[in-house]
Amino acid sequence: MADAPCKNCKLRAKYDQNPSSLVGRFWRWHINFCPGWKAYFTSLPQEEKKRLAAQYDFRKYQ
């Protein structure tokens, strides 16, 4: 699942560029229930999960 679309998502890139933008905030809200993000996130090694959780202030699927 490391080749998941979530890794190269254009909306995620927009969030990384400007988290307070409308598109960035939409992406951050969207990952709370997106099945693709859940599959991608849970397939990652524990260290990568911790890094992404801290980067995106993401507390689900821990």
Percent of the chain at pLDDT exceeding 90: 81
Nearest alpha carbon to residue 28 among 37, 48, 40, 50: 37
pLDDT band (50, 70, 90) for residue 37: very high
Q: Does the pLDDT of residue 1 top 70, yes or no?
A: no
Q: What is the pLDDT of residue 27?
A: 96
pLDDT tens profile 23-36: 999 999 999 999 99
Provide the whole-model pTM.
Answer: 0.85
CA dihedral 62, 59, 49, 54 (to 10 degrees): -150
Q: Does the pLDDT of residue 62 top 90, yes or no?
A: no
